[in-house]
Structure 1
Amino acid sequence: MKPISPKAFKQVLHYFSFFNHALSAEEVRQYLSVPATQQEVTEGLKVLVQEGLIYCQNGWFALAPDALVLRAKYERLNLRRLKLAHSIGRFIAVFPFVRGVYLSGSLSKMGIQSKDDDLDFFILTRSGRVWTTKFFLIAFKKIFLLNSEKYFCINLLMDENQLSLAKRNRYTATEVASLITLRNDHGREKVLSMNDWVKNYFPNVEVPGAVENRVQTLSVFERILNATLGDAFERWCKARFTIHMRTHTNKEEGYFESETYSSAYYPHSVEQRLMKHLEEFENE
């Protein structure tokens, strides 16, 4: 097989250098843009280290030595925060109409964290109840957490039966590929299956074929909410949240999505700056 080009390796490391983040050989393979075995990736990285093109320490690889130090420094904190995320994920899962909970953002990639950073969650909801679910989650955050984003940042909610993402680029592909299941791994497989375009960016990511739908029986409380609030309340929530997101989203860097089947809210997203960072590498 043809050797992996140094540029393919450096593309991966350059992307994560935006966050000053080092990667393991397994992580490099996951985000590599060409098909490769783990052995080919490991051997290719060793050659680049020997040639002085990249740095390596304790099994981490990066374009700059500072990233290696930071990865080691924050590893224990990240493991503690990952344990915390699992606990919060179990709690979120008991909210009405929640069907799956997944960790996204920096911690899902074991990136640089502080004890005060927020935790980013991706939520799957009962079909037709995206906005009602968001209402209960946000109400809890405002009342009991005093509107703190610290441990309860709900960026993306999607209908369990409509999981195809509208935005398709390397950034969103990275987010999909790095999701960590906190509740309902079947749902994560379904997300990957419905977004198999991720393979165009990361051919080494395992994407399952067609995944069967599993209909979860409504709880007694969910039946009561459907009977008393129903679709009218769902539409009311969507209208109110849309106004809020449109008002508070940074017009230059922010992004929000308000659809019947999805709610995405990133008022200050790094996406545009990150894509520009990657574009600079591609133009070198």
Structure 2
Amino acid sequence: MSGGTIIGQLISQSQGYLTLHGREGLAELRRERERESNRLWPLAIHYGRLMAHLPFIRMVAVTGALAMDNVNHRRDIDYLVITQEGRLWLCRAMVILLVRWAANRGIALCPNYFLSENALSLRQRDLYTAHELIQMVPLFGSGTYGRFRRLNRWTEDHLPNARGMDPPKLANIKLSPHGQQLAIESPLRTHIEKMLRSPLGDWLEAWEMNRKVRKLSAVQPPQNGREEAQFSPQWCKGHFDGHAVRALKEYSSRLQRIAGFPV
């Protein structure tokens, strides 16, 4: 990077990272978080594989800080889970049992976004959502992941240079020498799915959805016109911390300071 250019006067390079001048210390922090992330990846893959074995689950992906190898001291593992249409809330109930089982072993799993495969085209189409979608790391269900990306090409309007994770590359780097990207099938899983594709399964799905939506909807009201926590038959978005609202507000504020006028 040439120091004579405008970019060269603003940007420094340290330990393989680019930073603003005067913030070179962030490179070591980033390295430290990358090391912490490397310790979490085996656990994320292990529990992601267990989720992928559950009935009606069609894709499991790591999201949040771990997806960017940028884990801090919290050490929780965020997941996005895509389910078969009409069985999202049953899937969520089974995954929550796994979450509690892991918690008893000191592992913090946070599957905070469940999405039905008939609702893959996202309604929220801002920069934050585009960033979260593109950065996710699919562990299982590469076919569903590919369809998810194709149905959300609007992300290119916000981040035209971002390609996202290439599943074959992930298989070689993260999972194993051969990888496991297909949905996991087993005779037991197939039998349970067949049994629950029935009026009984429909009743259980409706009962679980109504029970949990009442409880979850009382946790936090909408923030600044954007409901980060959203619940329906097609999705369960348990983002209660308001992080997207804060991030977009801060991003807009910084752009305004740079541009000198509202953006």
Could you tell me which residue of structure 1 aligns to residue 80 of structure 2?
122
Q: Is the Cα contact below 8 Å between 1:179 and 1:188 reproduced in 2?
A: no
Query: Where does the alignment leave 5 or more consecutive residues of structure 1 unmatched?
Result: 1-42, 208-213
Q: Which is worse superposed, 87-96 or 222-231?
A: 222-231
1:206 deviation in Å?
3.8
SS at match of 1:62: strand
SS at match of 1:283: helix
Could you tell me which residue of structure 2 aligns to residue 176 of structure 1?
133
Q: Is the Cα contact below 8 Å between 2:103 and 2:109 reproduced in 1?
A: no
State how far apart, in whole Å, the 2-side matches of 1:132 and 1:258 are: 14
Could you tell me which residue of structure 1 aligns to residue 211 of structure 2?
240
1:197 deviation in Å?
0.7
Could you tell me which residue of structure 2 aligns to residue 80 of structure 1?
39
Q: Is the Cα contact below 8 Å between 2:36 and 2:71 reproduced in 1?
A: no
1:269 deviation in Å?
2.9
Alignment of 1:17-166 (within 5 A): 47=5, 50-51=8-9, 53-63=10-20, 64-114=23-73, 116-142=74-100, 144-145=101-102, 150-166=107-123
* Among candidates 196, 201, 206, match of residue 225 of structure 1: 196
Structure 1 residues 45 and 119, CA, compared in 2 at 3 Å: closer, same or farther? farther
SS at match of 2:118: coil
SS at match of 1:229: helix
1:112 deviation in Å?
3.5
State how far apart, in whole Å, the 2-side matches of 1:167 and 1:79 are: 31
Could you tell me which residue of structure 2 aligns to residue 11 of structure 1?
none
State how far apart, in whole Å, the 1-side matches of 2:211 and 2:87 are: 15
1:48 deviation in Å?
5.4
Structure 1 residues 178 and 220, CA, compared in 2 at 3 Å: closer, same or farther? same
* Among candidates 234, 240, 243, match of residue 267 of structure 1: 240
Alignment of 1:2-17 (within 5 A): none
Question: 1:183-217: per-residue Cα shift (whole Å, max 9, x none)?
Answer: 1122221111111110100112348xxxxxx9x89
Structure 1 residues 236 and 91, CA, compared in 2 at 3 Å: closer, same or farther? same
Could you tell me which residue of structure 1 aligns to residue 142 of structure 2?
185
Could you tell me which residue of structure 1 aligns to residue 174 of structure 2?
none
State how far apart, in whole Å, the 1-side matches of 2:132 and 2:3 are: 24
SS at match of 1:78: helix
Could you tell me which residue of structure 2 aligns to residue 13 of structure 1?
none
Structure 1 residues 102 and 46, CA, compared in 2 at 3 Å: closer, same or farther? farther
State how far apart, in whole Å, the 2-side matches of 1:46 and 1:182 are: 43
1:95 deviation in Å?
1.2
Could you tell me which residue of structure 2 aligns to residue 9 of structure 1?
none
Matched AA of 2:247: L
Q: Is the Cα contact below 8 Å between 1:118 and 1:149 reproduced in 2?
A: no
> Size of the alignment, in residue pairs?
232
Q: Is the Cα contact below 8 Å between 2:65 and 2:71 reproduced in 1?
A: yes
Pairwise CA RMSD of aligned residues?
A: 2.7
1:141 deviation in Å?
2.9
Query: Where does the alignment leave 5 or more consecutive residues of structure 2 unmatched?
Result: 165-182, 258-263
- Whether 1:282 aligns to 2:255 is yes
Alignment of 1:245-264 (within 5 A): 245-249=216-220, 251-252=222-223, 255-264=228-237
Matched AA of 1:183: F
SS at match of 1:163: coil
State how far apart, in whole Å, the 2-side matches of 1:238 and 1:250 are: 19
Instruction: Please report the TM-score for the alignment, with normalisation by the length of structure 2.
Output: 0.79
Matched AA of 1:221: I
Structure 1 residues 92 and 149, CA, compared in 2 at 3 Å: closer, same or farther? farther
